[in-house]
Amino acid sequence: MTKPLRLGIAGLGTVGTGVVKIVRQKADLLAARAGRPVAISAVSARTRDKDRGVSLSDYTWEDDPVALATRDDVDVFVELMGGSDGPAKAATEAAITAGKDVVTANKAMLAHHGQALATAAETAGRVLRFEAAVAGGIPVVKALTEGLAGNDVTRVMGVMNGTCNYILTRMQATGQGYNALFEEADKLGYLEADPNLDVGGIDAGHKLALLSSIAFGTQVNFNDVELEGIQSITLEDIKHAADMGYRIKLLGVAQLTGRGLEQRMSPCLVPESSPLGQLEGGTNMVVLEGDMVEQIVLRGPGAGEGPTASAVMSDVMDIARGIRVSTFGQPASGLQQATAARASTPAPFYLRMDLEDKPGALAKVATVLGDAGISIDRMRQYRHDDTTAPVLIVTHKTTRTALDSALDAMGKLDVMASSPVALRIETV
């Protein structure tokens, strides 16, 4: 009988439990597709006696994930603990040193240590795979490393955090504000233990950094991702965008230009009729653009037991079949250090601000924009009270540098009742 591929699974939360279920319930299917059995040798988690809805009695238990990672009866270490450092990183490093292949869903660890871990794995002749770390069940890592290997990728763009998309689409559907929908998402279990990882754009920024590395052959550098969360988005912004035919999304965009690598994760306006504009709830979508393929759109569940466990198993099955691909699509030693660049492509921007109810207030704002070389496409003034006048401005195309200069100058005016909210209107 062909020798089985033996797994050691560290982390038995939602995803880890899902992987166990797939291996147990689909053993015959996996063996037929891989040409060899896939089996679990041992597992590890923080709590032994928790009811996970699946039997673990057939597997050896290790309290220490490092011990699990170095067992003689483990061929592939499956790291599903999470965390950029600590036990996850220590066990992954130990597995590589012990000659094991590694499959992980840990975007934070790879965003911060991906280059070092990929170098270590490839030096040791092992593979480090992470399909489940980006966009849940969507096979976007495989699409970039394999399906689009003959393309010069020109842009990667997408909605990569289902929690943020859920909050933003529910704001529009229900008319409730951000705080109410944040609480709803929390009760549904959509938020990370540290909610800022979701609503602050950090989780999605980790994913964008990983996709950028594959797409452009650069070393992972999460620190150069420009991050802006959705906390400042109001129900008024949602309504104003809809009036103009747009939807607001937390959108990741990466592209390599002559100035360097642009990586930004921020709320943007996208056309309501576009695939991204029609994306609802917790679903993810990634748009890939290449010189040969032009544009492809990948859409699917971005989290959850089944989708993420499915992505883990796609990596496990490749290893079982003998398919060995460099971590980021090409040898880590050949990845270049990219120069960070801010977005230089001109775009229109949406500006919302509250002005003091003083004569000439709007004229001062218009003068500041004009001095920065920014022209106004349209302007609206909404509800008005005795002290402030809320104003909405859409600019003609301008650069972010020019806009930042104007925003800085606005901050010094004596007519600003609040800091302006500025959102890029993205072409998709």
Dihedral, CA of residue 331, residue 287, residue 15 and residue 113, to nearest 10: 40
In the block, tokens 């207030």 appear at 361
* SS3 at position 312: helix
Residue 10 assigned to a binding site = yes
In the block, tokens 């480090």 appear at 128
> How crowded is the C-beta side of 297, counted as CA atoms within 13 Å?
11
Residue 13 assigned to a binding site = yes
Sign of the alpha-carbon dihedral angle for 323, 324, 327, 328: negative
Nearest residue to 230 via CA among 190, 269, 278, 193: 269
CA atoms of 320 and 399, how far apart (whole Å): 49
Return the amino acid letter for 162. Answer: G
Is 50 a residue of the active site? no
HEC string for 44-84? ECCCCCCCCCCCCCCCEECCCHHHHHCCCCCCEEEECCCCC
Residue 402 assigned to a binding site = no
Residue 235 assigned to a binding site = no
Residue 401 assigned to a binding site = no
Residue 86 assigned to a binding site = no
Structure tokens at 282: 């917790």
Indicate the DSSP class of residue 146.
I
Residue 345 assigned to a binding site = no
Catalytic residue among 100, 142, 207, 249: 207
Chain centre to alpha carbon of residue 49: 33
Residue 11 assigned to a binding site = yes
Residue 300 assigned to a binding site = no
Structure tokens at 38: 């896939």
Residue 192 assigned to a binding site = yes
Structure tokens at 57: 């009695």
What residues are paired with 211 via a beta bridge? none
Asked if 230 and 164 count as a contact pair (C-beta separation under 8 A), the reply is yes
Q: Which residues of 13-44 are buried (b: 16+ CB within 10 A; e: fewer)?
A: ebbbbbbbbbbeeeeeebbeebebbbbbbbbb
C-alpha gyration radius of the chain: 24
Asked if 10 and 68 count as a contact pair (C-beta separation under 8 A), the reply is yes
- Which residues are annotated as part of the binding site for NADP(+)? 10-17
- Which residues are annotated as part of the binding site for L-homoserine? 192
- Which residues are annotated as part of the binding site for NADPH? 107
- The residues annotated as belonging to the active site are 207
- Which residues are annotated as part of the binding site? 10-17, 107, 192
